[in-house]
Amino acid sequence: MHWLLTFNIIYLSIFSRSSISTDSQTEKRKNILFIVADDLGWNDVGWNNPDMHTPNLDTLAENGIILNQSYVQPTCTPSRVSFMTGYFPYKLGLQQNGLRPLESNAVSLNYTMMPEKLKELNYSTHMIGKWHLGYCNKNFTPTSRGFDSFFGFYLGSQDHFYHNTSGVSKNGTKFRGYDFHYNYNPYPQAIGVYSTDLYAERTIEIINNTDEDKPFFIYLAFQNPHSPPQVPKGSPVSGCQNITNKNRRLFCGMVEQIDLAVGKIVLALKRRGLYNDTLIVFTSDNGGQVLHGGNNYPLRGNKGTIWEGGIRAPGFIHAKFLNLRRGYVSMRLFHAVDWYPTFIELAGGGLSQSKSNPKINTSLNIDGISQWKGIINASAPSPRNNFLINMIIKKKIFAGIRFGNFKLLLGMAGEMDDWYKPDNKKVNINDGMYSGGSGQTLNNSGINEILDPKFENYIEKLKIDRNDIWYFNIMRDPYEKNNIDTKDKVFYKMLDLLVMYRESYKSPTRIRENLAGNPNFYDGYFHYGWCDSY
């Protein structure tokens, strides 16, 4: 059995005994470094898989809080919506896949983003790396959404050295453009320089020039290890040479580049005297992409699915100003929407609570719940016991929900539903490895055979396909192998919650590509200025 997932008994006892306290210097306002890796899978970090070479990340994780039940969305844009707005993306119509390069879509200006709130609390705010939340209007870009500075790219992917993206629109028009910006302006100086190196240098520049009397928030959204698979020639990678699969070895090298960058950034914090007062949070935006060398084994599924491998993110919290027990593993449910209120509470923003439900932050009116009290005190009760994984409703419902130890999936959870070992050859989407059969037929008969009038009402109300119902006890069955065939009280409670979530559902908004955004009209750059700021 995979060594970390033997936590079911061991770490539950650690969790119940551990306590976390702050030292006498917590009165000084803390800096926040929020690091997001792109397409990093559960099995792609050293603390989950010793074959991966991530010594700097491992040190931070093992001397902090390893988040063992931390969830994100199945793809890029939806997770970033969650991070920046604190809302489940199904409420914004942005729950399905990433924004396309020429799609005139974005997070509505009606939503206040995290850096805007932190600026109100007198934080300096900086973004580095991948945005992917819309750019067709200047008002949608990072420096108009609360960031004092932006250094990175607008789209979902690009070449790591030349920072260009090409494609073909649905009407057959080819496009190709350069996508790297410094604040509002294109930054051609990045051409030929590896993205991770650029991001590390910029982060260190901000650290070296920060005002010690004004705390900072840095959102460092790495491009690595997202495709295309590229690493610098002659880079000092050494921990991946024993991996025989070329695709996996190259992916490992991309992860090592993140690790090297984080090591340099932590060293800069220490030299500047800021390390002791900086909260470092690390997470992925979704599961690893098996097609490009990523891996989520032994979790089930892949990026783009709502199996555990698609949405359960490797992550940790590290802070010298917190007295943490070494190797502390948190079993608390944590969702991507929770970072927003957690950072706001750390920053000194008071969060008033609803009298009818003390878990609701009425001052922010978002879906996220602050986890700060549980971070500083492990014996504090967990504020979250459920969350919506995702919801898309067409002729029938595609949805997932977590409630306590249990998880319910309705409709297809994603085509890549198998358990993919990291030493497999490169998976081909047409090679028959995952036709929807090997995983989807496991023990999926009993739950659909029970005729229950109560259940029939939910079928009609939620548009459930009775042939696609998946119910798991994740703590007992973290690999999602055994579909529970009993409709118990928890099962119906989860259906009730789905009915409640359904009331605020917004259909996925996919706006037709706008050829006015073709880089040919902007001197070869992907640039804003070709849509209204609706």
- Identify the pLDDT of residue 9: 36
End-to-end CA distance of the chain: 51
- Identify the pLDDT of residue 1: 46
- Identify the pLDDT of residue 233: 87
Per-residue burial over 267-303, b = 16 or more CB atoms within 10 Å of its CB, e = otherwise: ebbeeeebbebbbbbbbbbbbbbbbbbbbbbbbbbbb
Question: Range(s) for CATH 3.40.720.10 in the chain?
Answer: 29-332+334-384
| pLDDT single digits (tens) 1-35 | 454 444 443 343 333 334 434 443 446 889 999 99
Q: Which helix (H) or strand (E) holds 493?
A: helix 489-502
Residue 205: partners with Cβ closer than 8 Å, 6 or more residues away: none
Average pLDDT over residues 284-305: 96
Average pLDDT over residues 483-498: 93
- Identify the pLDDT of residue 511: 87
Average pLDDT over residues 506-512: 89
The CATH homologous superfamily of the domain defined by 29-332+334-384 = Alkaline Phosphatase, subunit A (3.40.720.10)
CA quadruple 299, 302, 307, 309: dihedral positive or negative? Answer: positive
DSSP state of 431: S
- Band (pLDDT 50/70/90 cuts) for residue 451 is low
Pairwise CA distance, residues 303 & 267, whole Å: 32
| pLDDT single digits (tens) 39-74 | 999 999 999 999 899 999 999 999 999 999 999 999
What Cα–Cα distance (Å) separates residue 104 from each residue in 74, 109, 151? 22, 14, 21
Active site annotation includes 132: yes
| List 53, 76, 226, 531, catalytic entry | 76
- Is residue 438 scored above 70 in pLDDT? no
Look at residues 305, 301, 294, 284 and name the one whose alpha carbon lies nearest to residue 479.
301
How much of the chain is in helix, strand and coil states, percent to nearest 5?
30, 20, 55
- Band (pLDDT 50/70/90 cuts) for residue 352 is low
Active site annotation includes 252: no
Average pLDDT over the chain reads 87
- DSSP letters for 510-533: -PPB-GGG-GGGGTTB--S-SS--
Q: Which helix (H) or strand (E) holds 80?
A: helix 76-85
Percent of the chain with pLDDT over 70: 86
- Band (pLDDT 50/70/90 cuts) for residue 456 is confident
Pairwise CA distance, residues 66 & 401, whole Å: 23
| List 126, 132, 226, 527, catalytic entry | 132
The domain 388-502 having CATH identifier 1.20.1740: the answer here is no
Q: According to DSSP H, which parts of 282-347 are helical?
A: 308-311, 339-346
CA quadruple 464, 468, 469, 471: dihedral positive or negative? Answer: negative
- Band (pLDDT 50/70/90 cuts) for residue 424 is low
- Is residue 239 scored above 90 in pLDDT? no
- Identify the pLDDT of residue 27: 67
- Band (pLDDT 50/70/90 cuts) for residue 335 is very high
Average pLDDT over residues 449-463: 78
Torsion of CA 526, 530, 533, 534, to 10 degrees: -120
What amino acid is encoded at 333 in this protein?
A: L
pTM above 0.85, yes or no: yes
- Band (pLDDT 50/70/90 cuts) for residue 274 is very high
DSSP state of 373: H
8 A C-beta contact, residue 335 and residue 320: no
Average pLDDT over residues 264-291: 97
- Band (pLDDT 50/70/90 cuts) for residue 103 is very high
| pLDDT single digits (tens) 136-191 | 999 999 999 999 999 999 999 999 999 999 999 878 889 999 999 999 999 999 99
**Peptide bond before residue 225 is cis, with ω within 30 degrees of 0:** yes
Q: Among the ranges 247-261, 342-356, 447-461, which has the highest mean pLDDT value?
A: 247-261
Question: Range(s) for CATH 3.30.1120 in the chain?
Answer: 388-502
- Identify the pLDDT of residue 246: 86
Q: Write the burial class of residue 372 (CB in 10 Å: 0-12 exposed, 13-18 middle, 19+ buried).
A: buried
| pLDDT single digits (tens) 374-412 | 888 888 888 999 999 999 999 899 999 999 999 999 998
Please calculate the CA angle 311-338-38 and round it to the nearest 5 degrees: 40
8 A C-beta contact, residue 155 and residue 141: no
Average pLDDT over residues 190-196: 98
Residue 105 in 3-state DSSP? Answer: coil
